[in-house]
Amino acid sequence: MSFSNLFPPPGSKTELEEGSILSPRFGADGLVACVTMDAVTGEILMVAHMNQEALAKTLETGEAWYWSRSRGELWHKGATSGQVQTVLEIRVDCDQDALLLKVKVAGDGGCCHTGRRSCFYRKVEISAGAARLVID
């Protein structure tokens, strides 16, 4: 299956911001940022990237697919960990260059490869003029 023409190119500013056609603005690298959050709690679980194929598979299957930049391959979230993300809603930002997935997570409910529920488990604190990370 060819994904090169799956999503139409962005139209005018008005069409992009107010229209009803999904035309994601994939970057020069072919990716769009994707924020994933728990559909019930609103907790941000992770940020990943999608290419056209990942977005198409997500829309087709109702489960989250991403593009792994580190591995250079399509990634079905939960295929090996059991942490499959069932997509309950997809939103696109105003200029269609970022996506928001609201999901229900299977398995142990985690999303981070470190074994934590969320990839955002550290906060930045400023002390004596220096920034440091603290596990929350």
- Positions at the binding site for Mg(2+): 93, 95, 97
**Annotated binding-site positions:** 93-95, 97, 112, 119
- What DSSP designation does 10 have? P
Instruction: Please work out, in degrees rounded to the nearest 5, the angle formed at the alpha carbon of residue 107 by the alpha carbons of 103 and 108.
Output: 100
Contacting residues for 47 by C-beta, under 8 A, at least 6 apart: 33, 34, 35, 36, 119
Whole-angstrom distance, CA of residue 57 vs CA of residue 132: 38
Contacting residues for 114 by C-beta, under 8 A, at least 6 apart: 121
Whole-angstrom distance, CA of residue 44 vs CA of residue 136: 14
**Annotated binding-site positions for Zn(2+):** 94, 112, 119
